[in-house]
Amino acid sequence: MLFIIAAFNEEASINRVVTELTDAGQSVLVVNDGSTDKTAEILAKIGPPLYVATHPTNLGQGASLQTGLVCARLLNPDFVITFDADGQHSLTDALAMIAFMDKSPSLQTLLGSRFLGSTINMPWIRWLMLKIAIFYTRISSGLRITDTHNGLRVLRRSFYQKFNFTSPGMEHASEILDCIGLLKVSYAEFPVTITYNSYSLAKGQRSSQALSLFFRLIEEKL
């Protein structure tokens, strides 16, 4: 399996997140998305079993994950796991999701759900925006999901070898759900814990940005 992490100016968290994974013996691919801080320098010091792909300029999280998928196809692991760089996700949850996939060979993708699991320090406005996004995604994709825009996912080889992210920005999270619904890809949700801290909240979308994204997605569907 291969963990794919999209990173842009993540010097405050990238060492801790990546080291936790590599110390546990996991293969990790970080796509450094044109970072202008010390992210590249930190990654260079971590070393194997870390793979690094670099964008010369910032292209967006969706574009970074697409670069990660292109690289993953060369490495050809059984599973790829998309994992956020800001410390919101848990290695324990990711490994539990892999174990679940191992026992469910018919599943092509497994989606983390904070609303089946739990959250730590989630602001109420973030809860509200997510609930609105979930309602809209259920209508647009036809999927009876409980969470959306959750970056913790496990993709089986049969899916990631043929799926492509075409939205360079945050819209990629809705794009993969639309694809699952359109192509009737077998999926399930899995309870996970999302931890919000001051850094992840500062790095994440502000409420105004989330609202703008929501209306932009609606406009694209009309």
More confident position, 201 or 19:
19
pLDDT band at 197 (very low <50, low <70, confident <90, very high): confident
Average pLDDT over residues 100-104: 96
SS3 187: strand
What is the reported pLDDT for 126? 86
Backbone torsions φ then ψ of 7, nearest 5 degrees: -130, 130
Tokens coding 101: 């996939």
Average pLDDT over residues 192-206: 72
Whole-angstrom distance, CA of residue 197 vs CA of residue 115 = 18
2-221 topology per CATH: Spore Coat Polysaccharide Biosynthesis Protein SpsA; Chain A (3.90.550)
What is the reported pLDDT for 208? 46
Asked if residues 163 and 182 have their Cβ atoms less than 8 Å apart, the reply is no
To the nearest whole number, what is the mean pLDDT of the chain?
Answer: 89
Domain boundaries, the chain: 2-221
Residue pLDDT, tens place only, 114-141: 999 999 999 988 898 889 888 888 888 8
pLDDT band at 3 (very low <50, low <70, confident <90, very high): very high
Q: Which of 10-14, 87-91, 216-220 has the lowest mean pLDDT?
A: 216-220
* CB-CB neighbours of 189 under 10 Å: 18
Q: pTM value?
A: 0.88
What is the reported pLDDT for 199? 63
